[in-house]
Amino acid sequence: MKKLLKKLSLTLVALTMVLSSTVNAQFWGTKGNGIVKKQDREIGSFSAISSGSGIDVYLKQGDKESVTVEADENLLELIVTRIKGDKLVIKTEDPIRRAKKLNVYVTFVNVNEISVSSGSDLESSHLLKFEDLDISVSSGADADLELKADNLTCSVSSGADANLSGTANSFYGKASSGSDLRAADLKAKVCKAKASSGGDVSVYASESIEASASSGGDVNYYGDPTKVNVSSSSGGDVSRR
């Protein structure tokens, strides 16, 4: 019971932070006019992607980078898609009160870092291939990706959710502060998982698993790995499914 109450408390704190920013956005900012338009943007090459501000981002892999913005006509100029260093930054310039559409469609050649925050959603319509990829999902954001990677890491925090499927040779996943990382459909050979502060993690490992859980965190692992190293403390739990 103590563990459950602690997890609920941590989850509520994370959700309160997210909802607070959402409510503020609803009562402050530019309201969309309901006339949805698409706009192709000129964009250079990039190897990382960062999105926020409640924007929905749809990823596709191709031979050339491209960006298309779909939103209410009067909001198009408020949506930023710029290259900073080697990173494609997607956000709003000013607060948006309400929008009929707030979508950005991104075609990339190869990236090694993806970060999603502040209520932004990230999706892939088909399998994406990487050598090394680091994913960060935070502050109420959601990510739903199908991947094939050699080395993959994913960190989820502050009430965010991530759903990963596909395959990976090596996978390290962690969740904290009331967040969820669902990666049981990501078939990894070698896996390391960590859950803390009310975070939940589910993973799959075929060869080896190293998992730890603390402070009300939960790790569930699937598969039949030959090497198993698990630990738990402070109300955390690690279970084989």
- Closest by CA to 122, choosing from 78, 196, 108, 230, is 108
Domains within the chain, CATH numbers bracketed: 2-27+34-240 (2.160.20.120)
Look at residue 18 and give its three-state secondary structure.
helix
Look at residue 88 and give its three-state secondary structure.
strand
Query: Is the confidence at residue 21, as pLDDT, over 70?
Result: no
pTM, 2 dp: 0.89
Look at residue 34 and give its three-state secondary structure.
coil
Looking at residue 113, its pLDDT comes to 99
Looking at residue 28, its pLDDT comes to 79
**pLDDT tens readout for residues 44-97:** 999 999 999 999 999 999 999 999 999 999 999 999 999 999 999 999 999 998
Handedness of CA 11, 13, 18, 19 (dihedral sign): positive
Range scoring the smallest mean pLDDT among 19-28, 117-126, 181-190: 19-28
Higher pLDDT, 15 or 112: 112
Element (H, E) at 75: none
Structure tokens at 56: 């929905």
Query: Is the confidence at residue 8, as pLDDT, over 50?
Result: no
- Closest by CA to 163, choosing from 139, 135, 190, 191, is 135
Looking at residue 27, its pLDDT comes to 58
**pLDDT tens readout for residues 121-167:** 999 989 999 999 999 999 999 999 999 999 999 999 999 999 999 99
